Amino acid sequence: MSVHTSVDVHPGATSEELVARAVALQPLLRKHAGYGDLHRRQPDEVIAAVTEAGLFGLLVPRRFGGQQANLRTLLNVTETLGEVDGSAAWVVSLGAVAGWLVGLASERAREDVFGEDADARIAGSINPTPAERVEGGLLVTGRWPYASGSPHATWAAVGALVPDDAGTPEALLCLIPMSQLTVEDTWRTVGMRGTGSHHLAAEDVFVPAHRTIRLSEIAEGGSADGAGEVDDRPHTGSVLSLSILCPLLGLGRAALALATEKADAKPLHHTVYERQADSVGVQIQLARATLALQTARLHAEHVVDELDAAAARGIRPDYAARAHIRAQCGYAMTQALEAVDIASDLYGAGGFAESSPMQQVWRDANVIARHAGQNAHVGYEVLGKALLGLPERISPTV
């Protein structure tokens, strides 16, 4: 086992300081605008700066060099990054949550990951692949899709499915060094291209037992060995839903800013208005978009406040609360996307020129909003059944 020597590499940062670091990164993200679309990954300079700012370690325990921040901080930081680059915000958001998941692993596993590198970057893909139990651990061969941030990751948290002693399939999360995996260049999409969400592949990789996490142990909140220094009470599925939503809120801000700027500077073609801002129709649409985004933000705030409060009180959200959270995240996603779509309508066809930042925002927002983990209709059904007292649970992540 490695000896942990790196303590508080980014010590004592408050939530406000971490958000300020995100703001300070915005000029660098603007400098590299377009890189992600071209190369389908984040530039090395951005990853280095985000790492130096300690943002990948937002939710990692402080004694392993992380920030041990709350979920309100995750929301504020990733939303801030998303105002400039949705892909960068996504890589930070999911990377931070992957670090949080490692923080729920056994003490020995955390030493393996963070003991020699407090700035370890983790790519995650929980889609399970069959694995074989062998002496001392698992033997894993398989592929995992959508591993965001994989080009720069140092570790991966990937899903495995193995039979337990009774022969029943058991879902595990395996922590594997990226040096033992292959990154397959598969991420070719119309939006969120800069996330580097490629496939990972393994062939006969041995995973020691201490580097596996039973998903059933952390599904309801809690950690593999009951470690107390992390906010381990938030429900795993709820945290994952939140991490998907946060970058979209930043994209919504960006879209509104672009539409507002253009409305003040350009005429409304084929009308008497020399400024779009003088049109009542434009005023109404801008108000609608603003209210939609504010609605999304309020739901996100309610979710983080509820989860953070539960962690502070040392309690775990019950199923009814988790059903509300799942539905709220999905509904917030639809409202944020509506804000982007209205802003894009206001901006007009010129927003779809390759040189326009609006088309990047629109493409990224529409890809995020289709993430399977945030299907709004699933969330509504989950909540509806809970409100009616129906016993059926249709989603294992709630």
Tell me which DSSP letter residue 135 carries.
T
Assigned token pair, 270: 């084929």
Q: Tell me the one-letter amino acid at 335.
A: Q
**CATH code (residue 175):** 2.40.110.10
Model pTM above 0.85: yes
One domain for residues 74 and 209: no
Predicted confidence (pLDDT) per residue in 348-378, tens digit: 999 999 999 999 999 999 999 999 888 999 9
| pLDDT at residue 221, as a whole number | 57
Judge whether 270 lies within some domain.
yes
* Contact yes or no for 343/287 (Cβ under 8 A): no
Percent of the chain at pLDDT above 90? 80
DSSP-assigned letters across all residues of 166-204: TS-EEEEEEEEEGGGSEEE-----SS-GGG--EEEEEEE
Task: For residues 166 and 247, state if they share a domain.
Answer: no
3-state SS string over 60-109?
Answer: CCHHHCCCCCCHHHHHHHHHHHHCCCHHHHHHHHHHHHHHHHHHCCCHHH
36 found inside a domain? yes
How sure is the predictor about 224, in pLDDT bands with cuts at 50, 70 and 90? low
Rg of the chain, C-alpha, whole Å: 21
Residue 222: the pLDDT is 55
- What's the number of domains the chain is made of? 3
Residue that is last in its domain, among 114, 137, 169: 114
Domain boundary at 114, 138, 173, which?
114
Which residue is associated with the tokens 């493409």? 363
Among 114, 137, 159, identify where a domain stops.
114
Give backbone dihedrals phi and psi of 108, rounded to 5 degrees, phi first: -65, -40
**pLDDT at 7 (0 to 100):** 42
CATH of the domain at 345: 1.20.140.10
> What is the Cα–Cα distance from 365 to 118, expressed in whole angstroms?
32
Alpha-carbon distance of 43 to 32, in angstroms, equals 7
